[in-house]
Structure formats: structure tokens, C-alpha cells
Amino acid sequence: MGVDWRTAKKYADGEVLPVSRSKERDRPKTGPFIEHLQAMLIEDMNKPAKQRRTARAMYDQIVDLGYEGSARTVRHWVQRLKPALYAERKERFVSLEHSQGEAQVDFFESWMYGSFPDAKMKKFYCLVMSFPYSNATVSRALPAQNGECLLSALQSMFEEIGGVPQAIVFDNLSPAVKSIDGYDRQLTDLFSRFKWHYRFEARFCNPASPHEKGNVERKVSYVRRNVLSPPPVVENLDEINDILQRHSEEDMQRIHYRKGVAVKDLWDLDCKALLPLPNQHFEVFRTRVSRVSRVSAIKVNRNDYRIPRAYPGQKVLIKLRWDCLEVFDEDGQLLGKCPRQYIFDAKEVDWKSELEIFKNKPRAVEQAVCLKAFPEALKDFIVSASLSQRPQRIRTLISLFEKGHDLADIKKTVELAQKYGRTDRNSLMILADYRNSDGKSPVDDPYTPDEARKWQPDMNQYALLTAGLMNNGE
């Protein structure tokens, strides 16, 4: 057979497995165009996904180059070539070991329900600090993402944990980073002074590389799903911070997903590696120079702050803290202190759509999160009814919203109806229309049947009765 005996022995001893070598068949129609398809796929990798060519578009292009095969064959080769080309371009990640006392920080947006009368959904920001070694978390709810809020939140976190992380990984947040030049970062003045005061090392991710702080990215999702979903119904951000703090303490009792011990035990090791807090307190503020307007007010971030002791045209120094403004004259005398105004992004709650969910689920009303922001009078109006009556009452409220009545108006209407003991649908609709009318013109009554509304008594019956009584001498 022309085979060397040594080769035959290797196969006989099982040292080498026989491999069948099949020769790739010739493809006279497709072969010359495979390189064109590869080039198109590589070119499309650098484009947004929605701008990449389909297999049909690639077929049309190579037809112009002389391709005589079918579109189905082109689709087959695109499906065959794409995985290998994309696998070559796919970035490989490295598993990292994190030291004790290191932290990662990230912001995310969330929503909360305001209680009545400001029953709207408002957006706020949450700052999460995670410790990859122990997997512990500390969070803060903030009204904005400016430098004062960021550093004040970090400062309160340092005080809560009793120390300062040795190194903190950040995104390239505008309150911290002015500009990026390769691996170099030009920091803002306030952040730079804050960093040197607390002596921690600030590390910044590469642009568009959130995986470089993957621990806090996962923690952001964890906090959003387990604490802030569904949105809480609160009066202010302090209530949310209380919720976040309780959750962080309870989460310490959890077993670490990989190390098999309680997070609290690992957290104790993290705390031992923290830097001590400085003896002197760092004041987080920025300064700005402005002039007082004709109405003795200053404008900061599109908000007007009235300073009664300042005169029009006066030059003042503004000290911006996260929660207030302090205004000084040129001699350093305090002219006024104002609470800082934040404009929350808010959206109206579609109460009609929210109520429609419960038309056929009357039991679920009692546990509905969205209805926690409902006025107590309206919740009692629904819940106080029996299960058989609740759907009708829910439909009545939906009808009132459909007619254009707002939440406050419906609340007053229901309170007035309960006072008079007329809580049926027709009475509520007529009462709501009457309250919105001028009180002089009659209110349309489409609910009473025409037979009853047009009915007139027959007075002849009364005349006969009166005549009979008179004849009897009464």
C-alpha cells in the first residue's frame, strides 16, 4: 500500500486517529465572489447595526459584478461567513481580582410617585457605590447629577462607612472630568480638591467601556430591580435614602455568590482596608459671581432666587451647595441664604389607564402600587365597597377621567357625594358637571330616562278628589 511501517504502527496502537481528508469541491459560480461577500461583511462591522446590508442587498451588488448564482446561495454564504468574522472582532475579557478597600461608582436614573396633591411621577438620580471584594453596596438618591450633589453624596457615604476607599473607579462624569486626552484626564477643580483632601486614587474607565466597572454595573441593576421597582410613593428623597440604607444593611446578611460566606464578614475586611477620615471637614461648594436684577433677584440654572437685602445692580458672590445658596456682598457680608431649587422631570400619571387594569380584578386594588399615590378619599371610595360593587365604582371613576375631570376635582366630587350619601354613578357624574358649571345655567341630565323626565301629573285627579271632599262638608 506504500505506507511506512512506523505510520501503520501508530494507527494500530491507537496513537493517531484516522482523519478523512475531503477535498473542497469547486464552486465555479460562487467561488470568485466569496471574497466580495467577506469584504462587505467586514465593512459593515464598523457601521451601526441598522445601517448594515442585508443578504439580499449583497446579492444585488454582486449581480452587478457578474454573479449568475441564486440569492439563496448568497444567503447561505453570508450565514456561514458572518460568525467567523464577528468572532475575530469580538473583544475578549479578563477576569479580575479586586483588592480590599476598593470601590466603584455609577449613576442611574429612576422614578418615584409623589403623594397627593402632587401625584406625578418624578425622575431622580441614584448614586451607587459598590465594593467588589465583599459585594457590599451603599446608595444615595439625589436631585441632580451636578458636582455638588456627586461629591456631597460621596462625602456622606464616607461618613456612613467610617472611612475612605483606597481607590474608586468612575465613569468620565462631567462633574469630575473636564476633558479626555488618551489615558490622561483633566479634572474639574472641585473634584481635584476633593480627591486630594480624602487622599483616594481616582481611576477612570475608557470611553464607552462600562465593563471596566462591571461590579457596580450589576449593582445598579440589582438596586433598580429590588429596591426601586415598582417606583416608591414618597414625600421627598430623604424617604428614598432611608429605604436604600435599610436595604444595604439587610443585603449584608446575604451569602456571597462565589466565596460562600456572608457579605458582612467580607465587608468587615473591606472596612479594615479603608483610609481614615480626615480630621477637617471638606466643604463642598462652587462659587459664582453675579449681579442682582431690578427685582432684587439672582438667576442660577434658570431659577430665580430673591435676595431682599441686595439692591439692583449689586455685584454678589454666590456659594453653591447641593441644598442651598449663600449670597455675599463684595465685603464678604452674608446677604441671604436660599434653599436650592431643582426642577424634577415629571410626567402625569394616566390614572384612567391605571384604573382600567382593575376593572376585572377588584381584589388587586388593595395591593396596587400606583394607587398608593391616589387620594385617600378615592381609595376608600373603592376599597370600602364590596367586591361585587368595586368594578362599578372603578368604571365610574374612569368615566369621570374620560370626561376631562382632573384628580383634585374628582376627589372633591367623591367627598361631596359621600357626604350626601349619593355614590351611584349617575349622581357622581351630575355632581361633577355641576361643580364645573357656573351654577346658574341648568346642568344636562342624560342619565334620567325620557319617560320619567317628560312625565307630567294629571291634575284632574286632584280636582276630583278635592271636589269630593268639599261635597262631604270637609
Q: What is the pLDDT of residues 118-167, one digit of tens each?
A: 778 889 999 999 999 999 999 999 999 999 999 999 999 999 999 999 99
Task: Specify if 462 maps to a domain.
Answer: no
**Does residue 117 lie within any of the structural domains?**
yes
pLDDT band of 451, cuts 50, 70, 90: confident
pLDDT digits (tens, 9 = 90+) for 79-112: 888 888 777 666 555 555 678 999 999 999 999 8
3-state secondary structure 238-266: HHHHHHHHHHHHHHCCCECCCCCCEHHHH
> By residue range, what is the domain housing residue 399?
350-453
Please indicate, yes or no, whether residues 199 and 301 belong to a single structural domain of this protein.
no
Q: Are 135 and 263 in contact (CB under 8 A)?
A: yes
Q: What is the pLDDT of residue 19?
A: 53
Q: What is the pLDDT of residues 341-362, one digit of tens each?
A: 887 777 788 888 888 888 888 8
Q: Does position 387 have pLDDT exceeding 90, yes or no? A: no
pLDDT confidence tier of residue 65, bands split at 50, 70 and 90 = confident
Let me know if residue 432 belongs to a domain. yes
Residues 188 and 108 in one domain: yes
- Whether 358 is in a domain gets the answer yes
Average pLDDT over every residue of 327-347: 88
Question: Based on the domain organization, do 291 and 147 belong to the same domain?
Answer: no
Q: How many domains does the chain have?
A: 4
Which of 66, 89, 112 is the last residue in one of the domains? 89
Mean pLDDT estimate for the chain:
85
Give domain status of residue 365, yes or no: yes
Same domain, 194 and 248: yes
| 298 and 423 both lie in a single domain | no
276 or 356: whose pLDDT is higher? Answer: 276
- The confidence band for 458, taking pLDDT boundaries of 50, 70 and 90, is confident
CATH number, domain with residue 243 = 3.30.420.10
Do residue 84 and residue 138 come from a single domain? no
In a domain, 218, yes or no: yes
Same-domain check for residues 329 and 357: no
Do 302 and 359 share a domain, yes or no?
no
CB 172 within 8 A of CB 136: no
- Altogether, the residues listed in the chain come to a count of 474
DSSP strand pairing (120-131 vs 136-142)? antiparallel
The CATH code of the domain that includes 300 is 2.30.30
Whether 359 and 310 map to the same domain: the answer is: no
Which residue, 89, 118, 136, sits at the end of a domain? Answer: 89
Region 255-282: what's the mean pLDDT? 93
333, 435: one domain: no
Asked whether residue 227 is domain-assigned, the answer is: yes
Looking at the structure, do residues 135 and 244 belong to the same domain, yes or no? yes
Q: Can you list the pairs that 336-341 forms with residues at least 24 positions away whose Cβ atoms lie under 8 Å?
A: 336/307, 336/308, 336/309, 336/310, 338/305, 338/306, 338/307, 341/303, 341/305
Query: Of 37, 63, 89, which residue constitutes the final position of a domain?
Result: 89
Whether 157 maps to a domain, the answer reads yes
* Domain shared by 313 and 377, yes or no: no
